[in-house]
Amino acid sequence: MKIAVIGGGAAGFFAAISVKEHHPKSDVHLLEKTNKLLSKVRISGGGRCNVTNGCENIKQLTAGYPRGAKQLKKAFQVFDNKDTWLWYESRGVTLKTELDNRVFPTSNNSQSIIDCLQNEISRLGITIIENARVTAITEGDDTLVLTIKSEELIFDKVIVACGGSPKKSGLYWLESLGHKIENPVPSLFTFNMPNESITELMGVVASNATVNVQGTKLRSSGPLLITHWGMSGPAILKLSAHGARLLSDRQYSFVAQVNWISISNNEDVSEALRVLAAKHSKKHISNIKPFGLPTRLWDYILRKCEIPLEKSWGDIGKKQINKLVTHLTNDIYNVKGKTTFKEEFVTCGGVSLESIDINTMQSRHVPNLYFAGEVMNIDGITGGYNFQAAWTTAFIAGKLG
């Protein structure tokens, strides 16, 4: 049995390995359009490779997927994050879970993951063909014919694991076979704020902020990082993933409402400030920071409220308390554009899950054609979810039904 796996990324490598482990006598060929293998694995997590997420159960795990959660729930019963952990550890790669539940190799080096995958490919005798861009798949007599440049290669079964495409036209070769394609748009991006002075605070992190997109139900909480171009961090990235299509429709021009302290009851915030004012009446307002806010952020909010930094807490009146409450819980920023999150760039869209039998990852339109990874309309928030979807779908696809 001759098998082709299209794509030399995480899903492609894992699918090829899965095929060979489930079907030891098969002849497996891994086709990569460039000469760069596992490039996303290499740079993800700042070069450390965020292998998966340490969620305790499948319900928690599926919550990390804006698209594909329902289908992955079933798939995770076959191969989940715990299986990923065991898979790598059994092959000599020790892993660790960090405080935010992200899982990394203990080496803190993505090369550990790359070496493991490449060693498995070598051990199993899988053939890698680089610079092999597949431009068409046609059906033969119980076979699939791949067109690469002017050459045609014949396989019994094919797994497509080529990753996401930034444009729908990039998936025409799959659409022409009858697959529905969900229009690709970026996911996991940071917010550009070219006209906002908040960028002066680059490097400051608000550890527990809540961000809303004004006029929508989009909301996300978590650490927020201020950058020299705008805002980033888990709260922003999560919001960008859940709002990928809506924010694309708005051409990335919208208003972000930031609650710096994630306390929604204004009266509670007001009362906390009044208590501080009474307790520290003679101290400068800039010296006593409420809600654990970073110094630079608190000073920035004071300036926004036109409150002198050297003013005493005891001299703060009701109007100024109200101003502080507004800027702490509903700070308004104009977003104009986005920037790709370099550590984990992901596409929302791809081959519709309506076109795929999620139990086997087989095409509903073309027998013996399977899918794995980001080429499908499955994507997760940051934190190891996208790699987990790759491992899971690739493992199942590799069973070949």
Query: Which pLDDT score is estimated for 171?
Result: 96
- Spatial distance between the Cα atoms of 1 and 117, rounded to a whole number of angstroms: 22
Q: What H or E segment, with its residue span, contains residue 241?
A: helix 234-242
Query: Which pLDDT score is estimated for 345?
Result: 78
Instruction: List helix spans (H) across 48-161.
Output: 58-62, 69-76, 81-89, 111-124
Query: Which pLDDT score is estimated for 341?
Result: 80
Instruction: With beta carbons less than 8 A apart as the criterion, state whether 346 and 187 touch.
Output: yes
Q: What H or E segment, with its residue span, contains residue 265?
A: none
Strand partners, 171: none
- Spatial distance between the Cα atoms of 369 and 401, rounded to a whole number of angstroms: 10
For tokens 């319900």, the residue is 59
Measured from the Cβ of residue 270, the count of other Cβ atoms closer than 10 Å reads: 17
What token pair was written down for 305?
Answer: 């409220």
- Spatial distance between the Cα atoms of 325 and 319, rounded to a whole number of angstroms: 10
Strands, E assignment, 260-363: 331-336, 338-340, 346-351, 356-357, 362-363
Instruction: With beta carbons less than 8 A apart as the criterion, state whether 49 and 108 touch.
Output: no
3-class state of residue 116 by DSSP: helix
- Give me the count of residues in the chain: 401
Parse the chain into domains and list their residue ranges: 2-186+343-397, 189-340
Strands, E assignment, 7-150: 27-31, 52-53, 95-97, 102-105, 127-129, 134-139, 144-148
Q: What are φ and ψ of residue 189, in 5° steps?
A: -135, 165
What is the reported pTM?
A: 0.92
- C-alpha dist (Å) from residue 28 to 2, 7, 170, 386, 391: 6, 13, 25, 25, 18
Which of 332, 331, 335 minimizes the C-alpha distance to 192? 335
Instruction: With beta carbons less than 8 A apart as the criterion, state whether 184 and 349 touch.
Output: yes
The amino acid at residue 255 is: V
Which of 172, 126, 136 minimizes the C-alpha distance to 5? 126
Query: Which pLDDT score is estimated for 342?
Result: 73
Phi-psi region of 291 (alpha: psi -120 to 50; beta: other; left: phi over 0): left
Output DSSP code: residue 67.
B
Domain 2-186+343-397: assigned CATH number? 3.50.50.60
Q: What H or E segment, with its residue span, contains residue 270?
A: helix 266-279
Considering only CA atoms, give the Rg of the chain.
Answer: 25
Residuewise pLDDT in 10s, the chain (401 residues): 999 999 999 999 999 999 999 999 999 999 999 999 999 999 998 999 999 999 999 999 999 999 999 999 999 999 999 999 999 999 999 999 999 999 999 999 999 999 999 999 999 999 999 999 999 999 999 999 999 998 999 999 999 999 999 899 999 999 999 999 999 999 999 999 999 999 999 999 999 999 999 999 999 999 999 999 999 999 999 999 999 999 999 999 999 999 999 999 999 999 999 999 999 999 999 999 999 999 999 999 999 999 999 999 999 999 999 999 999 999 999 999 999 887 777 999 999 999 999 999 999 999 999 999 999 999 999 999 999 999 999 999 999 99
